[in-house]
Amino acid sequence: MKKLALFLSDMKDQGNSICSIRQGFDTSTSMGEMMFQFVGILSSWEKTMIRERTLAGLARAKSEGKTLGRRKVTNKTMTAKII
């Protein structure tokens, strides 16, 4: 979130603004600036929620004894030949 605020501040200092027709905000206005920051906050929250759910799912799978990660493509015989 700090980077987003810094980016917005730098844009403002340079006399630039962002206008998004799709999301309906224009950072040259105070309402548009608030909407831009709100979208950033929601994005940050969503990223955190995805991380929490992923970690919870991995922990549950591990507790159920499921193997995590990529399947092995070699066996002991192939590994011995390679080495």
- Rounded to whole angstroms, the Cα distance separating 7 from 13 reads 10
For 28, which DSSP code?
T
pLDDT at 51 over 80: yes
What residues contact 31, with CB distance under 8 A and at least 6 apart? 25
Region 57-74: mean pLDDT is 89
Q: Which two tokens stand for residue 31?
A: 């309402």
- Rounded to whole angstroms, the Cα distance separating 24 from 56 reads 35
Structural domain containing residue 24: 2-82
Region 70-82: mean pLDDT is 82
Domain count, the chain: 1
pLDDT for position 74: 79
Q: Which two tokens stand for residue 69?
A: 């990660």
What residues contact 33, with CB distance under 8 A and at least 6 apart? 8, 25, 27
Residue count (the chain): 83
Task: Tell if the pTM clears 0.85, that is, is over it.
Answer: no
